[in-house]
Structure 1
Amino acid sequence: MRTSEADILIVPGLGGSGADHWQSRWDAKLPTARLILQDSFDRPVLSEWRERLIEEILRAERPVVLVGHSLGSLAIAHAAPHLRDSGVKGAFLVAPPAPDVVATLSSIDPAFAASPMEPLPFPSLIIASRDDPYSSYAESERLAGSLGAELVDAGNSGHINADSGHGPWPEGLMRFAGFLKNL
């Protein structure tokens, strides 16, 4: 699959994706991509994020590929049971936080902290860092196993966001192109 053959729905995490974040850059660069905007990126509520994601998938005109970062990745995983036969062809999940870390953040709906345990109904890939402050690599391995996702080791890359030096993130875009090619 090529980018022109899919609606690429980009799902930001807590705080959204600022102008320097790789998700915002991909949104600007890929003509069939669009950011999923939430009513609140600062006080996320899982049911609202899940419903918005489902609404955007239903609006899609082509097969859908989801691109999540951090809490956005967990939103995708929690929405997955509602996405069977929805046109979603795959999910590219970057730096999902560990549920126990999410549980410590008072601004986040506690429902996000429940571990998704059901395999995703579409191909998926998790990119995880060895020194992500929001998840240990072992926790990323566990989540990948639960979701039936391929796990990619990003080495010591922090949270894979603009703060960790991943503004343009060309390596991620190349990995995403490879992921699309295999769908």
Structure 2
Amino acid sequence: MKCDILTLAGLWNSGPQHWQTHWERKYPAWTRVPHRDWNNPDRDEWVAELDAAIAECEGRPILVAHSLACMLVAQWAQSGSKLKIAGAFLVAPSDVEAASYPIDANGFRPIPLAKLPFPSIVVASSNDEYVAPDRARMFALAWGSKLVEIGPAGHINGGSGYGPWPEGEAMLDEFCRDLNP
């Protein structure tokens, strides 16, 4: 499998109006990493599924994650995998330690706060129901990620009006160019 971009949907598998789904339709070579149970994700199982998807790539992919999948990327980074990625574009990381998180964290706690061993960017909203702005800033700082705060954007998903999301696509394009000058 040749894959420059792996998309990682969050809890409930980003639906048809979500920006990830729009981007996958626009770029059919991009691959959404499958998961067995989107409603009740298990950290260890999902980390193994991500590792298997990365192993199938010809080169080092860029991970494009939303919500809980941002925590998946942080968990994978500390899993001890010998595989490498080019970078991670992390949008609206869910705070699985917050009371607002809608399901059992299923092993995603504690949140890894070690510096990520690859370039990354965190895109955050000022009114996300699943992560407070100060927590999103703290994750970005701990992970060594560039932080982009886009104002009041809810959870930056289809339900918040982020369908095709051309501004996000432009941010991802710039991130990719910076990785491959």
Which residue is 1:39 aligned to? Answer: 36
Equivalent position to 2:121, from 125, 146, 149: 125
Which residue is 1:155 aligned to? Answer: 151
Report the AA paired with residue 181 of structure 1.
R
User: Distance between the aligned counterparts of 1:83 and 1:28, measured in 2?
Assistant: 33
2:95 matched to 1:101?
Answer: no
* Structural mapping, 1:45-84, within 5 Å: 45-82=42-79
User: Distance between the aligned counterparts of 1:60 and 1:139, measured in 2?
Assistant: 32
Aligned length: 178
Q: Would the aligned equivalents of 2:95 and 2:101 in 1 still touch at CA under 8 Å?
A: no
Report the AA paired with residue 7 of structure 2.
I
Pick closer, same or farther for the CA change 1:103–1:77 going to 2, 3 Å.
farther
Q: Which has the higher helix share?
A: 1
TM-score with structure 2 setting the length: 0.92
User: Distance between the aligned counterparts of 1:104 and 1:164, measured in 2?
Assistant: 17
User: Distance between the aligned counterparts of 2:138 and 2:64, measured in 1?
Assistant: 20
User: Distance between the aligned counterparts of 2:37 and 2:10, measured in 1?
Assistant: 11
Cα-Cα RMSD:
1.7
Pick closer, same or farther for the CA change 1:103–1:50 going to 2, 3 Å.
farther
Equivalent position to 2:135, from 130, 139, 163: 139
Which residue is 1:21 aligned to? Answer: 18
Where structure 2 has 5 or more consecutive residues not aligned to the other structure, the ranges are none
Q: Which moved more, 1:22-31 or 1:36-45?
A: 22-31
User: Distance between the aligned counterparts of 1:44 and 1:173, measured in 2?
Assistant: 27
User: Distance between the aligned counterparts of 2:8 and 2:16, measured in 1?
Assistant: 15
Deviation (angstroms), 1:164: 0.2
Report the AA paired with residue 117 of structure 1.
L
Deviation (angstroms), 1:99: 3.0
Q: Deviations over 1:29-73 (max 9, x none)?
A: 124311111000000100011000000000001321001000011
Deviation (angstroms), 1:94: 0.2
Deviation (angstroms), 1:85: 5.1
Report the AA paired with residue 75 of structure 1.
L
Deviation (angstroms), 1:87: 3.2
Equivalent position to 1:164, from 160, 166, 173: 160
TM-score with structure 1 setting the length: 0.91
Pick closer, same or farther for the CA change 1:69–1:58 going to 2, 3 Å.
same
Q: Deviations over 1:153-180 (max 9, x none)?
A: 1110000000000011010000000000
Where structure 1 has 5 or more consecutive residues not aligned to the other structure, the ranges are none
